[in-house]
Amino acid sequence: MLHKRTHTAVLAALLIAMLPVLAGCGALQKGGTSAPTAPAEGGTSAPANGSTPASAPTENPNDPEDKALRDAIDLIYRYADGLMSAKENTPLSTGRFTWDTEKKQDSWRYFNGVMLDAFDRVMGEKGHDYVAHFYMNNLALDGPRNYHHSELDSVPCGLALFDPVFLESTNGIYIKAIRYIWNELENQPSFPQCGGNYLHKTTWTSFHIGLDGIYMAQIFLSRCAKAIEEGKLTLYRGSPASSPVSADTLYGEIFNRLHWIAEYMYDETTGLYHHGWNAETMQGNGHFWGRGIGWYAVALADITASMPAGEMKETLKLDLIKLFDGMLRYMDEKTGLWYNIVNRPDLDGNRLETSVSAMMAYSMLKASNEGLVPADYGKTGLKSFKGICDNKVIVNNGTIKVIDTYQKSGVSTTDEGYLENPFVDDEAKGTGLLILAAKEAERFADQTE
């Protein structure tokens, strides 16, 4: 008898193979996600306690602080459950998810990948089923639909492909998608003088490398390396592509890129990291955007955790501590949050921002939970998670809303350039990492009881 999750993956693969027929008769016009009454605009309906597919946090009834933390974790789980259940978020190929405040018209976008990864890793069976449904509608027989070539932002929708149920499926559709993305990265321009880091996208001509790109590409590659190491994946390079790539080779390349960032994009004066880097002049943009640093922090925590024991892992641990210590100089002591432009709390229009705070909470909690850094960093990450829940999560008449995520930014040459777009609600770059941070907060609390 098939395990339910395996059955889901097999069914999804069969449906993918039938897409040409089903599309012609309109069978895939509506997704299979349950659709309760649509939430009020600007938030998501909160299912009753206990309806979330994630494991319910176990609280200590004799500890008021622990109860408050468990309630906050449960609130974020219910928020995630509501996002998946909303009929507007049925995972078709046309995009238009409620968390996409940029209103893109297709699904294969990095911010959707952030949400898929969070749902799959945190939200149990329902989260996995949601992701399987997304792939059913967004994978063709030869790879992803609507893939945006020559930019790293297209990679993160592939992160959830490494769920064992997809990776170990007898149908090759998921492995084909992984290899498709791998081949795209193999053809992406890179800079040997910059540790082998990739050009972020072809339209980036002034600053070729962005901190964002470390998250976009390197977590995917680290999951490739882990799958190769476990004998679940084979990838090739060369012309023609005939030479299998070893896990050790891939880990070494990933290490070189991450550690180069720590050495070169680090600013000694501020203790922060340039958002962008010009690979020709070998200079940074001189400005310190919170979410850019947050992307790097998330990638560094995830990849260091998966790196095999040895010198590379130990070096990346030190890079994590260096990053955390630099950012902690600018954390708002009262709330545990960070400003959108990290070192400019005085700048008109700058505010404490949700995505960088969620990313730092997640990365410190993850690094502590994995034994990469001392537990005090985990305690600080927990403070940040609580600070987001206390200050940036609004509950009103059963509707949950996460506020104050800066919508989007390229690399700017002025601080004011990072304030040209709006702060928005329920935006993927904030909510996805908050869901992941909730799971790490639960892990940390369980370990310290």
d(CA 193, CA 196): 7
Neighbours of 349 (CB within 10 A): 12
What is the rounded distance in angstroms from the CA atom of residue 258 to the CA atom of residue 195?
8
The SS3 assignment for 368 reads helix
Joined together, the tokens standing for residue 382 give 């927990």
96-141 residue pLDDT tens: 999 999 999 889 999 999 999 999 999 999 999 999 999 999 999 9
CA angle 437-114-149, nearest 5°?
A: 155
What percent of the chain clears pLDDT 90, i.e. is strictly above it? 82
Give the residue carrying structure tokens 């260096």. 322
| Mean of pLDDT over the chain | 89
How much of the chain exceeds pLDDT 70, in percent? 86
Query: Position 293: which residue type?
Result: I
Q: Which helix (H) or strand (E) holds 293?
A: helix 290-306
Interval 77-89: pLDDT, tens: 999 999 999 999 9
CATH architecture for residues 4-31+64-447: Alpha/alpha barrel (1.50)
Return the DSSP state at 401.
E
Global confidence as pTM: 0.89
With a CB cutoff of 8 Å and minimum separation 6, the contacts of 142 are 176, 180
Q: Which tens digit of pLDDT belongs to each residue from 255-277?
A: 999 999 999 999 999 999 999 99
Stronger pLDDT, 140 or 28, i.e. the higher one: 140
Q: Cβ-count burial of 140 within 10 angstroms (0-12 exposed, 13-18 middle, 19+ buried)?
A: middle
Look at residue 31 and tell me whether its pLDDT is greater than 70.
Answer: no
The length of the chain in residues reads 449
Q: Name the pairing type of β-strands 352-353 and 266-267.
A: unpaired
| CA-CA-CA-CA dihedral for 75, 78, 84, 85, to nearest 10 | -140
Residue type, 126: K
pLDDT at 396 (0 to 100) = 95
